[in-house]
Structure 1
Amino acid sequence: MQIVGYDSGDDAGLLVSDGDGLDYVALDAGTDLAYTLGERHCAGTVHEETHIACDAPRAPYCRDHQYTWVCARCTGTCLKDEMDCYDDHAVYLAAFAPNVFKVGVTKHWRLDTRLREQGADRAAHIRTVDNGRVAREIEAGIAETVTDRVRVPTKREGLHRAVDADLWNEFVAEFDPIETFEFDYGFDLADQPMAETIATGTVRGTKGRLLVLDHAGSTYAVDMRDLVGYEVEAGRTEKDVQSSLGAFG
């Protein structure tokens, strides 16, 4: 079996191929996850619900199967042969605990979904425009002073913390938001989970790409992208992992 993909957001899960078909492993809170990681190589591709395997050593994807979404690099000048983003787009601000704020763009109908996919703690919808080109132009202007990317390690560092509400409210007020959002991922963490790459433990939940697991008396935060490409066997891992001080209490 091989982990060949994942979903973040409300319906978070891992996509596992056994060579004959695909299984979707839901990552609901309380789920007991029990896989041992083996060798890692390219995850291949999924086409029409069929996994097409690839044994290239580069992971999670080799050059032939790596996909780059050109719209993510757009700043208002279309990078495609023909512009096709003519539906309404939302420009938003997102907060990641305790005090990291970013600007972003998504299709209007995907706004709530996109924020959850990123693991935002709070967010503000600040503009709606009728195509992606204009949205990217607005984003690029704001990105001169506000970051447009927050990396997973930064998000992991704030898993046990809350957003600085005063700082966030002061920041958002400058943009006269259309609507605001608050998200609760239900972790109730006293300390920052340790970074680890495992697929064994009791699921606390997910926050964007981060999977939070309790295992052997400690809590871990796993970047799900780091699991993609691993061959797995059913059964709890015997891998030695760092333990938190609480594991010895």
Structure 2
Amino acid sequence: MQFVGYDTDQPGLFVSHATGADANAPHDVEFISLGSGTELAYTLDERHCAGAVTDEGHVPCSNPTAPYCPQHRSTWVCAKCTGTCLKDEMDCVEEHAIYLAAFAPDVFKVGVTKAWRLETRLREQGADRGALLQTVPDGRIAREREAEIAAEIPDRIRVPTKRAGLHRDVDDDAWDALLAAYDVDAADRFDFAYGLDLRDRPVAETIATGTVRGVQGRLLVLDHAGSTYAVDLRDLVGYEATAEATTRDVQASLGAWG
């Protein structure tokens, strides 16, 4: 079996039982829920390209580049847009939202999404809080406004930075000051809870064995052997796995020695 993708909206992993030699036909994809309390027991083996997941199923790839080889790596061109369309024809002619996102304790970013996806997009990123700044008629205007704000507030936050604050609360004073600077109405604010119940920073690891606490953005938090781990779901993609608990020695958290 191979981990070939993940979902952060309804948290779960996509698993295929195809092999690199089965590349001529799509194969069924199994969904493994990552709901709180789920018990995972997988040992990671070799890692290679995850191939492609289509409407017909999973098409495997034996290329050693992971998580995706050049043939299967996709780039969302709109993510690079700053207002000048990079496509042959602009197709983002619907309402877009410019927003702020907060990651504990005091890391903030600006972003853009389709207006109807605002709350979903904030959750996908694992934001602790969010705020709608403005709704505009299309993506071009939204990206222009985002680029202006990005001169003051980052438009990208790396996963290790998000992981470092999982056990902390948002700095209320810093967040309120930011919202005041942009005159954000109370009705346009969001507050998210992921049920992780962390007292200490989880250990960064790439494992798929343990009891799931929850998923925040693409960070899977699970308990294993007396320690709590935060796993970047993208780091699991491409791994072959066997359905048995890992016996590999992993770094323990300080709490495991208490």
Q: TM-score range by the shorter chain?
A: over 0.9
The answer to whether 1:16 aligns with 2:9 is: no
Structure 2 equivalent of residue 139 of structure 1: 146
Q: Are 1:167 and 2:174 counterparts? A: yes
Secondary structure of the structure 1 residue equivalent to 2:144: helix
How far is the alpha carbon of 1:177 from its aligned partner? 2.1
Which stretches of structure 1, 4 residues or longer, exceed 4 Å deviation after superposition?
none
- Please say if residues 16 and 22 of structure 1, whose CA atoms lie closer than 8 Å, have aligned partners that are also in contact: yes
User: Identical aligned pairs, as a percentage?
Assistant: 66
Partner of 2:40: 33
Query: 1:244, CA displacement in angstroms?
Result: 1.4
Mapped pair 1:236 → 2:227:
no
CA–CA separation in structure 1 for the residues paired with 2:12 and 2:125: 15
Please list, as runs of the form range in 1=range in 2, the aligned pairs for 1:55-134 lying within 5 A after superposition.
55-134=62-141
Query: 1-side partners of 2:48 and 2:132: how far apart?
Result: 39
- The whole-number CA distance in structure 2 between the counterparts of 1:39 and 1:93 is 39
Secondary structure of the residue aligned to 2:182 is: coil
**Over aligned residues, Cα RMSD in angstroms?**
0.8
TM-score by length of 1: 0.98
* Inter-partner Cα distance in structure 2 for 1:177 and 1:88: 19
In terms of mean alpha carbon deviation, does 98-107 or 11-20 score higher?
Answer: 11-20
> 2: distance between equivalents of 1:170 and 1:248?
40
Residue 211 of structure 2 is aligned with which of 202, 217, 240?
202
Mapped pair 1:6 → 2:6: yes
Q: Could you report, residue by residue, the CA deviation over 1:86-141 in whole angstroms, capped at 9, with x for unpaired residues? A: 01100000000000000000000110100000000011001000100000000000
Q: How far off is 1:52 after superposition?
A: 0.3
Whole-Å Cα distance in 1 between the matches of residues 168 and 56 of structure 2? 39
Query: Partners of 2:181 and 2:160 in 1: how far apart?
Result: 28
SS at match of 1:106: strand
The CA distance in 2 between the partners of 1:82 and 1:8, in whole Å, is: 30
* Structure 1 residue identity aligned to 2:12: G
- Bigger drift between 169-178 and 47-56 goes to 169-178
Local SS of the residue matching 2:190: strand
For residues 56 and 117 of structure 2, what CA distance do their matches in structure 1 show?
23
